[in-house]
A and B are shown apart, each in its own frame.
Chain A
């Protein structure tokens, strides 16, 4: 692990040196605020902060923690937060249309071979004979809010199965878990580290993988204010550089297993599941492992599909173009 860290730092040093002209613009020790949720999917930022990758990129980062993705998007729009990572939602698209924010990179993505998000059927419904996703026709499917990523995942599955779902907004993940446990709603989809333990505890059955229905799904994206994307090029590049270094460490430890996983779990545990002891938090952190795109690459095809779906549902204006939402100039664009 020590070796890896040193290696990574050396690599960082060489990239900064190699970029030459960009380096003086980067090293200004600028104060920025990064919005985050206490989820493992935000580990890229946490690692970059703990291991000094942000500092190496000349940034003095302060985290601002949120309870949900939507307030974070509004905080970016109001300028209270500079950079954040979250799922593409209808709210995000509306704010982009109003010229407030831009998506500049990709983070969490579904990838074959890595356990991703699961479709679930509540135990009460399962016992009542709803065994497959097709049987959910006309049943209650839980979402946090209209236009959320849960709504998108449910709708894509329903379209593929040729069924119709009754989408039930319950605002919060906690409320949905309660409603699933008591059998008030029939179906849902969620990240594996929440899906697996409660499936074991008998709350619900995992019946399919989200990646089977939405291949290459770009779940979360890196975004910032339109002003930062347009006018603060050096700052934005510095942030992405530090963030990407954190993501690489995460992938090395958690997916490729070429670095010390225990040390990585310790680091993430400083931010995620802080209310639980280490031995209880560790399985959840490890179960939550998913692919964070290397170099914050963005799957533009997936973003386009999500945008088109929001438009077809009438959740956002039909005349928003993908370039109003995305600034392609910062990271590698994949899937185009």
Chain B
């Protein structure tokens, strides 16, 4: 029994699967893929028809910036994105909250939202052109309509998930209905609403290309479509990179809003 008295050290095994941020791995993956593509296109085992040289894409991007065309394309696209997404998201959040709070509205609108969610908004583009004109109206409408439905679904889901015990406690303490909505329901639903916005704003960027299919001379989407029809891969990839950067930027903005509005969580 001498073993017992000496004791045996047992390593701590309950560390769990906690992911730790590895800051440089993401950058490393990007750089490796780009270098691989550059080497492949230079040495010739990737043909010019398959993939453009990353360095040529970078040159195209630089020319775009230096000629000032970048901002000529970015300006209209950003305004379409901001106006369309603002209309879609604000109407979507309002409708979603109403659905979450009132049984009649829920019964009336949830089937309707479910019916319009799966409609490919691009298919309605010709119709929008007749309704809202070939100018900016139809583009705003398409992006607004595309962001509206996912925002509604995320919002009423978030309202439904607010902790019931908190609401009951508020009622027990005699808070008015409006106070409960303002102080418990809305803050409680905010995490869900914001993560829903991440998805619907990404959809808005996707729809930007579709919105600029009809009648747009300038815009990132129009630029990508033109490059596609000319089979100009360098310009095509330069445009796609801009959309990706736009997505990263939007995600960053929402991250800032989350930190600001959800400070109560920590």
Alpha-carbon distance between A168 and B226 when the two chains are bound, in angstroms: 12
Q: Is B242 an interface residue (CB 8 A)?
A: no
Among B126, B133, B231, the one with the most A-chain Cβ atoms within 10 Å of its Cβ is B231
- A171, closest chain B residue (CB): B213
Smallest Cβ distance from A84 to chain B, in angstroms? Answer: 15
Number of interface residues of A (CB under 8 A): 33
- In the complex, the answer to whether B216 meets A94 with C-beta atoms within 8 Å is no
Residues of B with C-beta under 8 A to A15: none
Contacts of B126 in A (CB 8 A): 174-175, 178
Q: Are A147 and B226 in contact (CB under 8 A)?
A: yes
A/B pair count, beta carbons within 8 Å: 77
| Separation of A148 and B226 alpha carbons in the complex (Å) | 10
Q: Which residues of A contact B101 (CB under 8 A)?
A: none
- Stretch from A179-187, A269-277, A280-288 forming part of the interface with B: A179-187
- Cβ contacts under 8 Å, B49 to chain A: 77-78, 95, 98, 100
Q: Mark A58-100, 1 if CB is under 8 A from B, else 0.
A: 0000000000001001100110000000000111001100111
A315 located at the interface, meaning its Cβ lies under 8 Å from any Cβ of chain B in the complex: yes
Chain B interface category by residue count: 20 to 34
Interface check A145, CB cutoff 8 A: yes
Contacts of B208 in A (CB 8 A): none
Q: Is there an interface contact between B215 and A94, defined as CB atoms closer than 8 Å?
A: no
B171 part of interface (Cβ distance < 8 Å):
no
CB pair B130 A182 closer than 8 Å: yes
Interface residues of B in 226-266 (CB under 8 A from A): 226, 229-232
Instruction: List residues of chain A with CB within 8 A of the CB of B231.
Output: 70, 73-74, 90-91, 94-95, 98
The answer to whether B215 and A168 have CB atoms under 8 Å apart is yes
**Beyond A170-B214, A179-B129, is A90–B222 a contact (Cβ under 8 Å)?**
no
- Is B215 touching A184 in the complex (CB atoms < 8 A)? yes
Q: Is the C-beta of B48 less than 8 angstroms from some C-beta in chain A? A: yes
In the complex, chain B residues whose CB is within 8 Å of the CB of A166:
217
Q: Mark A206-230, 1 if CB is under 8 A from B, else 0.
A: 0000000000000000000000000
Q: Which residues of B contact A184 (CB under 8 A)?
A: 129, 133-134, 215
Q: How far is the CB of B51 from chain A (nearest CB, A)?
A: 12
Query: Residue among A73, A140, A146 with the most chain B CB within 10 A?
Result: A146
Closest partner residue, chain B, to A77 (CB atom): B49
By a beta-carbon cutoff of 8 Å, the part of chain B in contact with chain A is 47-49, 126, 129-130, 133-134, 213-217, 222, 225-226, 229-232
In the assembled complex, 14 residue pairs joining A and B whose CB atoms fall closer than 8 Å, in A order, are A90-B231, A98-B49, A147-B229, A168-B134, A168-B215, A168-B217, A169-B213, A169-B216, A169-B217, A171-B214, A171-B225, A179-B214, A184-B129, A184-B215
